[in-house]
Amino acid sequence: MDLIANHGRRVSVEELNTSKLLAHASRQAKERKFEDVMIVDVDAHHYENEHFGEILPYMDNEVFKQLALASRAKGGRGSVAPSVFGFQDIGGRVTRYPLRDSEQAGKGYQRDIEIGHRWMDAMGVDYSCLFPTGMLNIGSHPQVEMEYELTWAYNRWVTEKVIPESNGRFFTMLGLPMSDPEGALKQVETFGDRKGVRGFMITAVRPNLPVHDNRLMKVYRAIEERGLALSFHSGFNWTDKQFQSCNRFIAAHALGFSWYNILHCTNWVVNGMGERFPKLPVIWIEAGLAWVPFVMQRIDHEYMLRPSECPLLKKKPSDYMRDMYYSTQPMEIQDMGALEDTFRMINAETQLMYASDYPHWDFDLPSTIWDLPFVTEKARHNILGGNAARVLGLPPRNEAQKKNLERFGNLKA
């Protein structure tokens, strides 16, 4: 395969084979004996837009289904879901983007399962929470009805096709149509008990969503009653007003992923959602970790001056934040001292969950956690999989993993 470099110069590289590309990850997993450690990746992705031909027929409303199917019939030029533009592949430097189509694998959703298992096996990952990619921006859809229909169709497809055939290794936290609280509730009630559903997800690229809106309380209650988790999966949208001055992708991407979780986490905390739903595990995903100490300090500071605006709180905002969970990726590891402080501030040993974000450009391997110089053995095991096993009810896959889960108090399934 040829990639395009400067001035159209062609550079030959091998066609994509995920197992081969990640051969060094396999070596790391073997060297660290990851087979004995239950590793749960709470954030991995597939490209569901490659399967809209399979997904759209699951839409419920015949009018919107016809609109979507007809749009795709235009030689594939039509777009049914909002998308964001960007340069994740860094001009082809991250080769799995341009080479993606060259990988030999099955067809349809089977392809996603097969390729998914390749990266999981290479990294030593036992379970992955499979999230979509393009549909992380579903909150930008101007039509509430279409937002509902597309999430409904994806949620049916992924729970009826992809998850059941993944040998139990993929699980999901399904996206909800948050612009339609009644519709979101219906989807929790419909899909909440399906196999492999460990929670529901709010696509965080929703700058106008008040997560504390009274109309959403029934949705959170329904998730909590089922013993499931609620996650906020962040993202970026370069065209959002606050990022329109950014002339480089790096700025829109770095700020965007942090910003949307900062926004929703702040509203979640100051409105006392932790008091309203104390048994609801809340997981903040793909915003990295550096934003958390900032928000903790900032809100605690103002809370001491303005408690009258947060009358539901019975402790400091940062205490509620320490009750919640955070996914690791993309873990800012440039200043080890700052990272160590972050781990201390969020009680990482019990609240942090490993995430790869594979196959996206800034993925993290399990070794990023395992090799940290300041974490205890217990913290290593907990972060890589024990915390997720305990909170999401995932079972070990072998005896050694079972012993390790028992040893650190994480064996729940």
Partner 1 sequence: MAEQFVAKASEFQNGDRQIIRVGEDEIGIFKHEGKYYAYSNFCLHQGGPACEGLTIAGVKEKLRDDKTSVGLYFDENSMHFVCPWHGYEYDMFSGEQVADRRLKLKKYNVVQKGDEVYVVA
Measure the CA–CA gap between 326 and 346, rounded to whole angstroms: 8
Q: Which amino acid is at 93?
A: R
Instruction: Tell me the β-bridge partners of 203.
Output: 233
**Interface with partner 1, residue 6, by CB under 8 A:** yes
**What part of residues 59-118 is at the interface with partner 1 (CB under 8 A)?**
90-96
Of 21, 138, 299, 355, the one binding partner 1 (CB under 8 A) is 21
Of residues 23 and 63, the one with the C-beta less far from partner 1: 23
CB of 90 to partner 1, least distance (A): 4
CB atoms within 10 A of CB 90: 12
CA dihedral 248, 364, 51, 234 (to 10 degrees): -60
CB of 242 to partner 1, least distance (A): 23
The stretch near partner 1 (CB under 8 A) out of 6-14, 59-67, 224-232, 293-301 is 6-14
CB of 366 to partner 1, least distance (A): 10
Measure the CA–CA gap between 373 and 388, rounded to whole angstroms: 22
Of 50, 105, 362, 395, the one binding partner 1 (CB under 8 A) is 362
**Interface with partner 1, residue 25, by CB under 8 A:** yes
Q: Which of 322, 222, 217 is nearest to 271 (CA)?
A: 217
Is omega for the bond preceding 132 within 30 degrees of 0, making it cis? no
Cβ-Cβ contacts under 8 Å for 268 (sequence gap 6 or more): 211, 212, 274, 282
Of 24, 30, 33, 412, the one binding partner 1 (CB under 8 A) is 24
SS3 353: strand
Cβ-Cβ contacts under 8 Å for 194 (sequence gap 6 or more): 159, 163
The stretch near partner 1 (CB under 8 A) out of 2-10, 136-144, 338-346, 404-412 is 2-10
Of residues 23 and 73, the one with the C-beta less far from partner 1: 23
Query: Helix crossing, 291-305 with 249-270: angle to 10°?
Result: 40
Of 246, 368, 393, 402, the one binding partner 1 (CB under 8 A) is 368
Of residues 28 and 327, the one with the C-beta less far from partner 1: 28
SS3 308: helix
Of residues 214 and 334, the one with the C-beta less far from partner 1: 334
Of 187, 351, 367, 410, the one binding partner 1 (CB under 8 A) is 367
**Interface with partner 1, residue 271, by CB under 8 A:** no
- Name the residue with tokens 């960007």: 86
**Interface with partner 1, residue 28, by CB under 8 A:** yes
The residues of the shown chain that bind partner 1, judged by CB under 8 A, are 3, 5-7, 9, 11-14, 21, 23-25, 27-28, 90-96, 361-365, 367-368
